[in-house]
Amino acid sequence: MNRFPVAISLGAFGADLVRQRGQASFIPLLVEAGVTRIELREELFSGREDLQALGEAIRAQGLECLYSAPLELWLEGQNQPNPQLDATLQRASACGAAWLKVSLGHLTEDSDVAALADRLARYDVHLLVENDQTPQGGRIAPLAEFFARVDALQMPIGMTFDIGNWMWQEQSAFSAARELGRYVEYVHCKAVVRTAAGKLIAVPPKAADLQQWEQLLKHMPSGLPRAVEYPLQGDDLLEVTRAQVDALAHLGQSSIAVQSASETLSHV
């Protein structure tokens, strides 16, 4: 059975631990767990990192690199792309990242989508726009409008489809997959539950979640890279990580793969 590429969003290991140890410290664990891509999280940097050295360490271990930034493409009341996009692209490039992931922000009819071409042409970094948890960037309609405009302009911008984030704006993940699936180049996987206090939180998947994700992937190009973006915790962090990576690596192949993935997780 084939394995599809799996990434780890480093926030999965917990913000405090990642800030304490540094993002570079997780590279060996990811390699041993069978990960294809590391997703660096800008919000977890201290500001003192040597980004070029980090990029070299990632390349030396044969990992792909994606740079995730908490940046909105469109700020409220502005029709030009976020002026911080250039600096963010510079940091992503310094890390050797092939992709930069951001969120949509406040897209309007006046937003100059074509202006993104000039910003992106200066860097060898591919832009991915993710559905986040906000009203402006976490609903299907504005994302569909943005990607329709991108498509009409034939701009090389793809989508990160975060399966769990749709719940924050009470959007149907299946409706989103049907409408936006053709634009997706990267999938963030996380199950979401509501606590007794009414707060939505990300959790590891159960068998039913894996089955749902299998159905969602049918609306997207085959074999897309998929990322763990839910808590990875346990006494044996490598074993926990490897089990989750194995489960996601087989999604999108068959119901047998989902059953196998479910059985793998049941033994963690």
For residue 193, pLDDT over 80 is answered with: yes
Residue 229 belongs to a domain: yes
Euclidean distance between CA atoms 246 and 241, whole angstroms: 9
Token pair, residue 66, equals 């994606």
For 138, half-sphere exposure in the C-beta direction (CA atoms, 13 angstrom radius) is 14
Count how many domains the chain has: 1
User: What is residue 264's predicted lDDT score, i.e. its pLDDT?
Assistant: 56
Residue 73 belongs to a domain: yes
For residue 256, pLDDT over 70 is answered with: no
Q: Other CB atoms closer than 10 Å to residue 10's CB: what's the count?
A: 24
For residue 3, pLDDT over 80 is answered with: yes
User: What is residue 253's predicted lDDT score, i.e. its pLDDT?
Assistant: 80
Q: Determine phi and psi for 7, rounding to 5 degrees.
A: -115, 160
User: What is residue 252's predicted lDDT score, i.e. its pLDDT?
Assistant: 87
Euclidean distance between CA atoms 242 and 61, whole angstroms: 17
Residue 213 belongs to a domain: yes
Residue 241: band (very low, low, confident or very high) from pLDDT cuts 50, 70, 90:
very high
Instruction: Pick the range with the lowest mean pLDDT from 46-50, 75-79, 92-96, 146-150.
Output: 46-50
Average pLDDT, the chain: 94
Angle between helices 51-60 and 85-94 (to 10 degrees): 50
For residue 244, pLDDT over 70 is answered with: yes
Mean pLDDT computed over 96-122: 97
Contacts 24+ apart (CB under 8 A), 14-20: 14/231, 14/233, 15/43, 15/44, 18/44, 19/44, 19/46
For residue 259, give its domain range.
Answer: 6-266
**Residue 259 or residue 234, greater confidence:** 234
For residue 178, pLDDT over 70 is answered with: yes
For residue 254, pLDDT over 90 is answered with: no
With CA atoms as reference, report the closest residue to 155 among 217, 81, 71. Answer: 81
User: What is residue 260's predicted lDDT score, i.e. its pLDDT?
Assistant: 55
Per-residue pLDDT tens digits for 6-18: 999 999 999 999 9
Residue 152 belongs to a domain: yes
Please name the amino acid found at residue 205.
P
Mean pLDDT computed over 47-61: 96
For residue 151, pLDDT over 70 is answered with: yes
With CA atoms as reference, report the closest residue to 228 among 37, 28, 100. Answer: 37
Residue 169 belongs to a domain: yes
Residue 2: band (very low, low, confident or very high) from pLDDT cuts 50, 70, 90:
confident
Residue 1 belongs to a domain: no
pTM greater than the 0.85 cutoff = yes
Euclidean distance between CA atoms 41 and 244, whole angstroms: 20
For residue 267, pLDDT over 70 is answered with: no
CATH code at position 207? 3.20.20.150
**Residue 252 or residue 211, greater confidence:** 211
